Structure 1
């Protein structure tokens, strides 16, 4: 599997059979130039996970790509006039020969006064890669590569470390870092406090990295 991190929550996966783009949001850059995508997956409705200005042009340039969204994002993509499929936790879909299992259900709590929105995580090829969106959901399946949330209004460093330990992947790729002035500080914590057997890899933005 090859992974490209376009900054923040946006990740491109090349599974060997499919090219899947997850969470192309407003804090990410470079994904708009991708072609021959098989699917675009959105975990939830927040603008740092779905860029409403760039998404229509991206899909126009990738006519074979299926747009898959959580229930909370449906209104956004409907207003954009896009074709889409809504998925819920427990659903399973196949994209270009890659298996996608939908898990989770809710965004992590930001503050008691802010309503909790839907959020789904995507397990690709039975745990070969897991993107949790903005949640601490731990899937039942063993995860090989985890997209690890690093910094957010709903997240502190200790919680990220505890989540890393709970999932215990073979490789952790830190994502969701754009809100931090110096994310390297968190990467060091992850490396030092990761569970035994977990490697923390920090690809440069846009770098194509083979992870297995």
Structure 2
């Protein structure tokens, strides 16, 4: 499995010939125009840092065979723009080119009590990678590779580290860090490396623009 981080939560995941794009949101608008050969687009929830509708149209124009898989909440916004999608929510599963995709509905973490929260669906890509979206809910099975949220208005870095310790993946890498200044990445990427190794979890500080094999 090769993972390229365009930025924030926007990843290109290559597995057995399948190319999956996750959460093309507002923090990676410039990168979207160059995205090619995508088979699947996975969108976890309807917040602008995870879905940018103009970019969706651009990506689909450049990748006419790509299919969007998402939940009903995101689907409502897509339908209003005439964009086709397939529901993948709850605990439903689907297979594309023999690669299993599995949904895991999990509540978006609270920002503040008066702020309404969208439906949030995490996704398994094969049994290896779990991406929870904006949730710190423990999935119902063991995790080999975790896309770990490390920053946001709905979490602290301590909560992210505690979540990783609860999930206990073999490896994890950071997401939800698109708004973190370069000079602050040492905290958001460096501290998890230091803390999680003591829990026998390898934290890999994947930065925007980098690709790694897992």
> 2-side partners of 1:208 and 1:105: how far apart?
28
Larger mean Cα displacement after TM superposition, 56-65 or 181-190: 181-190
Equivalent residue number for residue 90 of structure 1: 91
- The structural deviation recorded for 1:31 is 3.7
**8 Å contact from structure 2 (residues 169, 201) kept in 1:** yes
Equivalent residue number for residue 187 of structure 2: 185
Equivalent residue number for residue 72 of structure 1: 73
- Structure 1: segments with no counterpart, 5+ residues: none
TM-score for the superposition, normalised by structure 2: 0.93
- The structural deviation recorded for 1:133 is 0.4
**8 Å contact from structure 2 (residues 143, 168) kept in 1:** yes
> 1-side partners of 2:144 and 2:65: how far apart?
28
Deviation readout 1:104-153 (Å, 9 max, x if unpaired): 33211111111222100001102x11111000121122211111111110
- The structural deviation recorded for 1:51 is 1.1
Larger mean Cα displacement after TM superposition, 130-139 or 195-204: 195-204
Equivalent residue number for residue 35 of structure 1: 36
> 2-side partners of 1:59 and 1:95: how far apart?
18
Greater fraction of residues in helix: 2
Pick from 204, 209, 212 the counterpart of residue 206 of structure 1. 209
- Give the secondary structure class of the aligned counterpart of 1:12: strand
1:110 aligns with 2:111: yes
- Give the secondary structure class of the aligned counterpart of 2:180: coil
TM-score for the superposition, normalised by structure 1: 0.94
- Structure 2: segments with no counterpart, 5+ residues: none
**8 Å contact from structure 1 (residues 150, 183) kept in 2:** no
Q: Describe how 1:131-170 pairs up with structure 2 within 5 A.
A: 131-170=131-170
**8 Å contact from structure 2 (residues 106, 132) kept in 1:** no
> 1-side partners of 2:15 and 2:142: how far apart?
17
- Give the secondary structure class of the aligned counterpart of 1:191: helix
- The structural deviation recorded for 1:78 is 1.0
> 2-side partners of 1:125 and 1:160: how far apart?
23
- Give the secondary structure class of the aligned counterpart of 2:110: coil
